[in-house]
Amino acid sequence: MPSTADALTTELRASFKGPITTPQDPWYEEVRAVWNGMVERRPAIIARCTDAEDVAAAVAFGRTHDLAPSVRGGGHNVAGRALSTGGLTIDLSLMRDVTVDPARQLVRAQGGCRLADVDAATARHGLAVPAGIVSETGIAGLTLGGGGGWLSRTYAMSCDNLQSVELVTADGQTIDASDENHPDLMWGLRGGGGNFGVVTEFRFRAHDLPPELLVGMGVYRADDTAEALLDWTERYPDLPEVLSTHAILKQALPALPFVPPELHGRRGLLIVALYVGDRSDKAAEPLIDTVLSAGKPCARTATTMPFAFGIQRFIDADFAPGARYYTKEAHINELPEAAIGRLVEGWHELDMDGEIEIMGMGGAVARIPKDATAFANRHHLWWFNFAMKWQDPAQDASNIGRIRAVHDSLKPWLGTGIYANMLNFDETDRVVDAYGGPENYQRLGRVKATYDPSNFFRINANIIPVPGA
């Protein structure tokens, strides 16, 4: 950033309505902060947009001054890709309106929405859009990279339910993209990340969802975890799509009423099973029972919970913003006994806070052909993720080293699938895998060359434009 920062800011103010924040402002740190407290990136200008016009003005300003911007939706990207280092950040966090058309089951969400905004608006109409599992996550980054969570086995990914968008392109135009209008771009936006422009509005198809869902939880002692995981993975392929289940190896079991008091704060396994349908369906309770009778649970419970204000907020407290987070993700199809044995050993080697998640996928996600959307890594049964955290910066290097070592020791079983949205700062060599392999990546490169030939939007899991496309 040149030393003329003040002059640049003054120039931007002439065309931009929203607040502009620079390091001189006393509130800069608050505005700059993203979810992961380990992220040190410090933009010179944070332009907080109020509408699509502001986004277009910020893009035009960036072009004029050759400032490739970062784009911030919810600020949840683990590697801090929402923030520029010393340059321009186009921040949509003030753009969080959601409107629901219940008759058409259509949801419009502005580009800075969090999942909580969308869930709260849709719940009023008995609807839901499939998204992630932590309510503070941004709908923008999540959807553009794929978007998987509790409803995915039944209703597929967020990107599969995306019908159209309003987008500001690298040359400053505001366009609509859908399957009819710019179909190549629409294909790329369903999984190709923030590579093609700034999305100012997402339009989703929503699904009917009962006000309360049946959810079951099983608690397992650390010593019983390997047996339970093996049993759970064996039962998993036969489960119907209406059943969603995750296994979570917790470093410290929560002090919830169904967890035996002697296990509060101790290492243990939680298996969660959700019936994504009417709780009075005949199949609901037996299916939950099938999942929770895996292995030897020391406690189990089944209850009903609202989706938006219950299930979608269930693990929020464990992922509060500001801690130092390091994640490492992989997609898997098999967890044989040897892999589970190593996983459980590795779990004991990690003495920091957090969890290892095995999120159940497959179902509706896997039924969509690989080439139908840019999100191509869809034929895996599970997303496997180390989500670890601590507070002390002095522990960064050793904790990261230990997580990597455990992850590396599992490599024989991990394969190549990885989620673009979870690519960490040290995984830039995995971008092609994250976008589904060389063929899919090349196709994305051709779309990139059409809509952003100079790679203006490059502070992301970047796709290089394919020349001559």
Ligand X SMILES: Cc1cc2nc3c(=O)[nH]c(=O)nc-3n(C[C@H](O)[C@H](O)[C@H](O)COP(=O)(O)OP(=O)(O)OC[C@H]3O[C@@H](n4cnc5c(N)ncnc54)[C@H](O)[C@@H]3O)c2cc1C
Site residues, ligand X (CB under 6 A): 35, 70-78, 81-82, 92, 111, 132-134, 137-138, 140-142, 144-149, 193-194, 198-199, 319, 421-422, 459-460
Q: How far is the CB of 55 from ligand X (least distance, A)?
A: 8
Q: Report CA 365 to chain centroid distance, whole Å.
A: 15
The closest of 176, 216, 204 to 305, measured between CA atoms, is: 216
Phi, psi dihedral angles at 357 (to 5 degrees): -105, 140
Nearer to ligand X, 12 or 199 (CB): 199
Cβ atoms of 365 and 359 within 8 Å: the answer is no
Give burial (CB, 10 Å; 0-12/13-18/19+) of 53: middle
Q: How far is the CB of 420 from ligand X (least distance, A)?
A: 9
Q: How far is the CB of 231 from ligand X (least distance, A)?
A: 24
The residue to which tokens 């710019």 are assigned: 182
Q: How far is the CB of 12 from ligand X (least distance, A)?
A: 19
Nearer to ligand X, 140 or 431 (CB): 140
Q: How far is the CB of 292 from ligand X (least distance, A)?
A: 22
Within a 13 Å sphere around the CA of 116, how many CA atoms are in the beta-carbon half?
A: 11
Nearer to ligand X, 76 or 300 (CB): 76
Nearer to ligand X, 111 or 210 (CB): 111
Cβ atoms of 34 and 74 within 8 Å: the answer is no
For residue 180, give Cα distances in angstroms to 46, 165, 446: 34, 12, 19
Nearer to ligand X, 220 or 451 (CB): 451
Kindly state the tokens that stand for 318.
């464990």
Residue 17: how many CB atoms within 10 A of its CB? Answer: 13
Nearer to ligand X, 144 or 242 (CB): 144
Q: Is the Cα torsion angle 27, 32, 36, 39 positive or negative in sign? A: negative
Cβ atoms of 162 and 143 within 8 Å: the answer is yes
Q: How far is the CB of 75 from ligand X (least distance, A)?
A: 4
Q: How far is the CB of 166 from ligand X (least distance, A)?
A: 10
Provide the b/e sequence for 109-148 (b: ≥16 CB within 10 Å).
Answer: bbbbbbbbbbbebbbebebbbbbbbbbbbbbbbbbbbbbb
* Vertex 428: Cα angle to 425 and 430 (nearest 5): 120
Nearer to ligand X, 73 or 268 (CB): 73
Nearer to ligand X, 297 or 465 (CB): 465
Q: Which amino acid is at 5?
A: A
The residue to which tokens 């993203």 are assigned: 34
Nearer to ligand X, 48 or 76 (CB): 76
Q: How far is the CB of 10 from ligand X (least distance, A)?
A: 26
Q: How far is the CB of 96 from ligand X (least distance, A)?
A: 11
